[in-house]
Structure 1
Amino acid sequence: MYKVAIIEDETAAAAALEKMISILEPDFKICAKIPSVFESLIFFRETNVDLVFMDIQLSDGDCFELLAKIPHLNFSIIFITAYDTHAIKAFKFNAIDYILKPIDPEELAKAIVRAKEKLSSRVLIEYFLTNRSNDKPRLALSVLNETLYVNIEDIIRLEADSAYTIFILKDKSFTVSRNIKYYEDLLEGYNFIRIHYSHLVAKNEIASRKVATLKMSNGDVIPMSVRKRFLLK
């Protein structure tokens, strides 16, 4: 299942597009329909999605203003617009497709197929490497323009940074453009615990604890939320 957002300032057009997408691709879950640049900025600060269907002209500006304000574009884009004058600019943002209104269902279907192919290949970048039975479980993470292979046993903790996640390892740290909930689900079964809204820690790396905090093996002190403290009893 892929998370999809629609950025479109015409309510009827957004609803019609949502209906077409749901018919053409059941694996695309529409998680938001957003009408403006302002609301889109707030949404992307707090939420990760895989794909965005994006109108170019919005009620308070155009989508290029929006995209210029997002530091890391960690989603794919299909532009849907009544104007054919922005195609070159659109493809500078690695658009999967550029569809003119009124939407031709066949063109939309082709774009969705291309999008799913691209998303499927991206999913392969983040997976557990278990090619040989004697391998240590590792996580492959896309960081900027390279792929980092991280032994799960080297992860001390993860910290939420808005829609991003900071990985703190035994020898380094770096930021990945997915939210912490994504990695909480991915690391389920590997002895990690979400001890606070902003913190996911490796149980084996907990050095000591107090009533409201944990001290990790690297000396970091992590707050525990009240309702999560019982998880370590």
Structure 2
Amino acid sequence: MYNVAIIEDEVAAAAALEKMISIVEPEFKICAKIPSIFESLTFFKDANVDIVFMDVQLADGNCFELLSKIRCINFAVIFTTAYDNHAIKAFKFNAVDYILKPIDPKELAKAIDKAKEKLSNRVLIDFFLSNKNLDKPRLALMVLNEKLYVNIEDIIRLEADSAYTKFVLKDRSFTVSKNMKYYEDLLQGYNFIRVHNSHLVSKNEIASRKLGALKMSNGDVIPVSVRRRFLLK
């Protein structure tokens, strides 16, 4: 269940958007419809909201002014507007999407999918940060819409496959729909090294090495690029 707020000063437009959201994503809960910047500032002081749909221009100001006054924007923002001249500024505020009115249900569905993906990423990263100081820190990974918890010490290597990443663990392997750079950043400080454009390995799981290649603890042989060989010294 996602909590959703609509910031829109046109009553008919807010009602139409609410109805469209309920059709596209019936499990969304519309927790507030707010017509002004002033009321929005009060709402965000203690709001528990996941996704916010914002018209850019309201009667008492614009939503960029509103966002600039919020210390921590921990929700996904989707702008809805009749004008396309604010798009660049919208994305500077890390907006998930920018939809032009009249709203196309297909465009709304795409924007909602982007918002859900962003929120899913936030949950996974928050989990990682909350447990990184434990004796056995873990990663939370989404695999086929299922959340898996993986001990970092069980990871032998990662392999890039375009926008996907293959995880090879001591007891299994699977592919996740994020690029390897994302996980390389998360795993900094855990003794992982990028030995090739397509390969990130745990130094703890290197069984043997020779010029141009590594043999891992599970028997996999991994190429080492010439410019990265110094990392193994």
Per the normalisation by structure 1, the TM-score is 0.56
- Partner of 1:177 in structure 2? 177
Match for 1:21 among 83, 91, 100? 91
Query: Which structure: larger Rg?
Result: 2
Match for 1:81 among 72, 96, 100? 100
- Partner of 2:14 in structure 1? none
Q: Is the 8 A contact 1:140 1:147 kept in 2?
A: yes
Q: Distance in 1 between matches of 2:113 and 2:155?
A: 34
- Partner of 1:137 in structure 2? 137
Matched-pair identity in %: 61
Q: Distance in 2 between matches of 1:212 and 1:133?
A: 35
Q: Distance in 2 between matches of 1:134 and 1:20?
A: 38
Q: Secondary structure at the match of 2:185?
A: helix
Number of residues paired by the alignment? 153
CA deviation after TM superposition for structure 1 residue 210, in Å: 1.0
Q: Is the 8 A contact 1:129 1:137 kept in 2?
A: no
Q: Distance in 1 between matches of 2:134 and 2:91?
A: 43
Letter in 2 for 1:138: R
CA deviation after TM superposition for structure 1 residue 183, in Å: 0.6
Match for 2:112 among 60, 84, 95? 95
- Structure 2, gaps ≥5 residues long: 1-72, 75-82
TM-aligned CA distance change 1:227 to 1:96, over 3 Å: closer
Letter in 2 for 1:194: R
- Structure 1, gaps ≥5 residues long: 3-11, 29-50, 54-77, 98-114
CA deviation after TM superposition for structure 1 residue 230, in Å: 0.8
- Partner of 1:123 in structure 2? 122
TM-aligned CA distance change 1:171 to 1:81, over 3 Å: same
Letter in 2 for 1:210: K
CA deviation after TM superposition for structure 1 residue 136, in Å: 1.0
CA deviation after TM superposition for structure 1 residue 184, in Å: 0.7
Letter in 2 for 1:140: A
Between 1:120-129 and 1:176-185, the stretch displaced more is 120-129
Q: Distance in 2 between matches of 1:163 and 1:132?
A: 25
TM-aligned CA distance change 1:201 to 1:92, over 3 Å: same
TM-aligned CA distance change 1:157 to 1:131, over 3 Å: closer
For 1:1-233, what aligned pairs fall within 5 Å after superposition? 13=84, 16-22=86-92, 25=93, 28=94, 53=97, 80-84=99-103, 86-87=104-105, 89-93=106-110, 95=112, 115=115, 119-120=118-119, 122-126=121-125, 127-128=127-128, 135-233=135-233
TM-aligned CA distance change 1:196 to 1:142, over 3 Å: same
Q: Is the 8 A contact 1:125 1:140 kept in 2?
A: yes
Per the normalisation by structure 2, the TM-score is 0.56
Q: Distance in 2 between matches of 1:121 and 1:162?
A: 21
List structure 1 runs of 4+ shifted beyond 6 angstroms: none
Q: Secondary structure at the match of 1:165?
A: strand
TM-aligned CA distance change 1:212 to 1:139, over 3 Å: same
